């Protein structure tokens, strides 16, 4: 933990936390295959597990396309809340972006567009999130499991059955807890 003179380090994930990646996938599945935007997503399942079997691998094709990550809408309340958190914390954006090579440039451009107050020195694109901080907000337990600080699980359909973590359902709840 940091000394009282130093701001705590807050690590924030991008996909399904800052960026509404799920909406982008739904938009593309709707556009290309007529899948309803409000498709029922069984708790604990990934989006592609709720789709017809012949579309199971399509999400990877979408995610590998140049520009996929560039125009994802921000999560409601994310910009305002992160801007307020920035006054009280050293905010770091950490995204497992290496798997999708085109996402590196797209995600950097996206952050510059929506979160220009986060300096480039506080952005890390990685494969595994082996990071040190005081608080981490992520939707993936695999990223939170080995984190030694306070762990906030950001709700997404795929993690709704997971227990044992402090859960936040939206950015207002993050603000209520951390501001």
What is the structure's pLDDT at 99?
Answer: 82
Let me know if 15 is a catalytic residue.
yes
pLDDT higher than threshold 80 for residue 140: yes
CA dist list (Å): 146 to 31, 120, 132, 143, 164: 38, 25, 10, 7, 14
Can you tell me which residue has the tokens 């597990």? Answer: 49
List residues bridging with 124 in a β-sheet. 94
Q: Which of 1-10, 73-82, 89-98 has the lowest mean pLDDT?
A: 1-10
Contact (CB, 8 A) for 69 and 59:
no
Q: Is pLDDT of 100 > 90?
A: no
How does DSSP classify residue 89?
Answer: S
What is the secondary structure of 28-44 as a DSSP string? HHHHHH---TT----TT
Of 13, 20, 106, 134, catalytic: 13
Residue of 177 and 96 predicted with greater confidence? 177
* CA 18/CA 156 separation, integer angstroms: 12
Give one word for 63, left, alpha or beta, with left for phi > 0 and alpha for psi -120 to 50: alpha
Per-residue pLDDT at 172 exceeds 70: yes
Is the model's pLDDT at 4 over the cut of 60? no
Whether the per-residue pLDDT at 146 is higher than 50: the answer is: yes
Crossing angle of the two packed helices 78-86 and 171-178, in degrees rounded to 10: 20
Does position 112 have pLDDT exceeding 90, yes or no? yes
Please pick, among 15, 106, 134, 138, the residue that the annotation labels catalytic: 15
Model pLDDT, residue 101 = 81
Task: Report the mean per-residue pLDDT for the chain.
Answer: 93
pLDDT exceeds cutoff 70 at 2: no
pLDDT digit string, tens, across residues 40-86:
889 999 998 889 989 988 999 999 999 999 999 999 999 999 999 99
Q: How confident is the model at residue 108 (pLDDT cuts 50, 70, 90)?
A: very high
pLDDT for res 5: 67
- Rounded to 5 degrees, φ, ψ at 137 are -115, 120
Residue 38 catalytic?
A: no
Report the pLDDT value the prediction gives residue 131, as an integer from 0 to 100. Answer: 92
Query: Quick one: average pLDDT of 17-27?
Result: 96
């Amino acid at each position: 933990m940091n000394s009282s003179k130093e701001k705590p380090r807050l690590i924030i994930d991008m996909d399904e936390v800052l960026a509404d990646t799920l909406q982008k996938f739904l938009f593309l599945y709707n556009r290309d295959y007529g899948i309803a935007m409000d498709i029922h997503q069984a708790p604990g399942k990934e989006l592609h597990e709720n789709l017809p079997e012949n579309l199971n691998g399509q999400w990877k094709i979408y995610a590998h396309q140049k520009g996929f990550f560039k125009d994802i809408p921000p999560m409601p309340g994310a910009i305002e809340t992160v801007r307020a958190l920035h006054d009280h914390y050293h905010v770091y954006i950490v995204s497992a972006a290496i798997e999708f090579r085109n996402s590196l440039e797209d995600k950097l451009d996206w952050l510059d567009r929506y979160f220009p107050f986060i300096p480039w020195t506080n952005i890390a694109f990685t494969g595994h999130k082996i990071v040190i901080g005081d608080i981490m907000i992520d939707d993936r337990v695999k990223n939170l499991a080995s984190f030694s600080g306070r762990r906030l699980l950001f709700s997404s359909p795929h993690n709704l059955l997971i227990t044992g973590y402090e859960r936040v359902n939206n950015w207002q709840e993050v603000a209520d807890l951390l501001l």
